[in-house]
Amino acid sequence: MSRRATHPLRFGILGAGRMGRVHAEHLARHIEGAHAVVWADPTEPDLAGLARGLGIERIADHWREVVDSDDLDAIVIATPTDTHYDIVMAASRRGLAIFCEKPLDLRLPRLREIQADVERRHVKLMVAFQRRFDPAFATLHRDLAAGRIGRPHTLRIVSRDSRLPPESFIPRSGGIFMDMTVHDFDMSRFLLNREIEEVYARASRLVDPMFERHGDWDTTVVSVRFAGGVLGVIENGRLASYGYDQRVEVFGSGGMLTVENPPHALTSGATGEAVPFFAERYAEAYRIEMQAFVDALLAGALPPVGVVESIRAVEASLAAARSVAEGRPVAIDEIRSSTQF
């Protein structure tokens, strides 16, 4: 049963790492209709200071304390991916609205369980695929939907990180397809408004030996076939020396549209300046997605990105991993009907 909302909505935040801080800052300063009142992170030594700086009333040692609070409307989950399932299920039982970082979970049975649970309880859950809310990608989406380039034929996405994650992040991330490409799978579905049918992935280790230590990859190229025969190529890299690199091109029967890097997004690695990363590139997108979540809650509507979007992107990520392991194209139907995932 979902709760009756207060106004402004009262949020709890779980996790004070890279994404937790982004969401905390937005809820403290830039979001209308909601604010954060409690923040939990078991390992952040200066959580009290961070919370004070953002006007967040209290901190908690454990996520359960937050989920069990009686004064909340919603929680933001920005903890490592392998913690999401337990927290989401507990929050759903409490009737809290849930904003969860991507990917909601790494396994399909758990995602389906979450889907059934939140639907049964009428709990509103949003998965944080923020690229959909980036003004440039949202414009591309609108232009494609309006038929500006006719029928799409091909899509190309380049997505390269500008800083390596800490090694401790890798074993909990689900691997590069689940951690990075999952965004691109979601964005390609969003832009083309069609489903992924098959993927054929290649992967290498060219950047850092730590990826091999965890059975992961750092450089990948995925060939994608979408419904209706549209083809795509998604290229990911864990480290671009020149900065965070995020570009998209869609080619169609009547033209071609691109989204390039914003001018500030690329810097020379040699200057010693801070190299922009996702927090800078998607600052506006993170704000807009959180506002969209809050607006949906206040309107009593479903949030714009739900469990099904996570399931579709995770299916494609699982297919890509299997494709690399077995050296062959893998159909999404094969993943969906398998009992292995």
Ligand X SMILES: NC(=O)c1ccc[n+]([C@@H]2O[C@H](COP(=O)([O-])OP(=O)(O)OC[C@H]3O[C@@H](n4cnc5c(N)ncnc54)[C@H](O)[C@@H]3O)[C@@H](O)[C@H]2O)c1
Taking CB under 6 A as the rule, does residue 43 contact ligand X? yes
Q: Which of 15, 232, 237, 303 binds ligand X (CB under 6 A)?
A: 15
20 part of the interface to ligand X, by CB under 6 A: yes
- Inter-residue contact 120 to 111 (CB < 8 Å): no
Rounded to 5 degrees, φ, ψ at 286 are -65, -40
Minimum Å gap between C-beta 296 and ligand X is 18
Cα separation values, 54 from 38, 99, 137, Å: 11, 19, 30
Token pair 């200057």: residue: 271
- Is residue 190 involved in binding ligand X (CB under 6 A)? no
| Distance from C-alpha of 75 to C-alpha of 310, rounded to nearest angstrom | 18
Stretch that binds ligand X, among 13-21, 106-114, 138-146, 240-248 (CB under 6 A): 13-21
| Contact assessment for residue 237 and residue 255, using Cβ atoms and an 8 Å cutoff | no
Stretch near ligand X under the rule CB under 6 A, chosen from 72-80, 146-154, 232-240, 250-258: 72-80
In the complex, least distance from residue 283 CB atom to ligand X, rounded to whole angstroms = 11
Nearer to ligand X, 102 or 287 (CB): 102
Which of 11, 12, 19, 218 forms a contact with ligand X (CB under 6 A)?
19
Site string for ligand X, 89-108 (x = CB under 6 A): ------------xx------
Work out which of 23, 74, 79, 318 binds ligand X, going by CB under 6 A: 79
Looking at 27, 31, 44, 184, which residue binds ligand X (CB under 6 A)? 44
> Distance (Å, rounded) from C-alpha 94 to C-alpha 100?
15
Give the range of 78-86, 146-154, 224-232, 241-249 binding ligand X by CB under 6 A.
78-86
Among 14, 108, 240, 290, binds ligand X (CB under 6 A): 14
Q: How far is the CB of 340 from ligand X (least distance, A)?
A: 22
Q: Strand pairing partners for 164?
A: none
Q: Is 216 in the site for ligand X (CB under 6 A)?
A: no
Distance set, CA 245 to CA 113, 248, 334 (Å): 35, 10, 32
Least distance CB 47 / ligand X (angstroms): 9
Binding-site member from 8, 80, 95, 269 for ligand X (CB under 6 A): 80
Strands (E), 174-315: 196-204, 219-226, 231-237, 245-252, 255-259
Give the CB-nearest residue to ligand X.
17
CA dihedral of 199, 153, 313, 329, whole degrees rounded to 10: 0
Among 69, 83, 223, 261, binds ligand X (CB under 6 A): 83
Interacting residue with ligand X among 3, 5, 17, 266 (CB under 6 A): 17
Residues 249-308 contacting ligand X, CB under 6 A? 278
Name the nearest CA neighbour of 112 among 131, 85, 93, 136. Answer: 85
CA–CA separation, 87 and 239 (whole Å): 31
The answer, yes or no, to whether the previous bond of 304 is cis (omega within 30 of 0) is no
Question: What distance in Å separates the CA atoms of residue 46 and residue 130, rounded to the nearest whole number?
Answer: 27
**Binding positions for ligand X, rule: CB under 6 A:** 14-20, 40-44, 63, 78-81, 83, 101-102, 128, 130, 169, 179, 278
